Amino acid sequence: MKQIDPFTSDLRSGNGALKAILISGFVAGTLDILSAFLVHSVFGKSTVEKILQFIASGVYGMDAFKGGIAMALAGLFFHFVIAYGFAVFYYYASKHIDYLHKNPLVSGLLYGLFAWLVMNYVVLPYSSIPQPKKAPTFGAQLISIACVMFFVGLPIAYIIRNFYNKQYKHE
């Protein structure tokens, strides 16, 4: 008997799963990067290109800062790969945990906190991103957490919840 991969079968079934993942990843990635541009250009005195190169430095290290627009585009690509990864993870988690699509406000905020923790304590420490000379202030940390909670967690939770409402109200 042929085994069905639940990931690819869900995406090929035409049930809107792929659309929900693509939209939620795009919205979360866009809101998150725009918040980074705003926060770091206002408070950090950085540029869009440097912010994107910083993201690319997770893979390319310090060479990313010498790569101009090509490295900035690579950083943007990596940023959206991560956003889509979080969207995929939430989608599949919500298939097994009803609370996630039944309570998108709370679960979205908690998922944003989870995403921030994963990025800051799992992904970034094992990447090639240069370590800061001094630790971020408590206020900067709170702004960072709030941005991910509101601009990543909430959009993903609500868009995936809307998928569930459309999918299961018609069955």
Report the 3 state secondary structure along 62-98: HHHHHCHHHHHHHHHHHHHHHHHHHHHHHHHHHHHCH
Q: Are the C-beta atoms of residues 119 and 109 closer than 8 Å to each other?
A: no
More confident call, 80 vs 139: 80
pLDDT digits (tens, 9 = 90+) for 9-68: 555 555 688 999 999 999 999 999 999 999 988 877 899 999 999 999 999 999 999 999
pTM of the model: 0.86
pLDDT digits (tens, 9 = 90+) for 82-107: 999 999 999 999 989 989 988 999 99
Burial class (CB in 10 A: 0-12, 13-18, 19+), 163: buried
Q: Are the C-beta atoms of residues 28 and 156 closer than 8 Å to each other?
A: yes
The tokens describing 140, both together, are 């900067």
Tell me the angle at which helices 17-42 and 138-148 cross, rounded to the nearest 10 degrees.
160
Q: Lowest mean pLDDT: which of 8-12, 43-47, 71-75, 127-131?
A: 8-12
- pLDDT of residue 132 exceeding 70: yes
The CA distance from 104 to 135, in Å, is 32
pLDDT class of 167 with cuts at 50, 70, 90: confident
User: Residues 6 or more apart from 33 whose CB is under 8 A from it?
Assistant: 76, 79
More confident call, 167 vs 94: 94
The CA distance from 32 to 38, in Å, is 10
Residue-range domain boundaries for the chain? 18-166
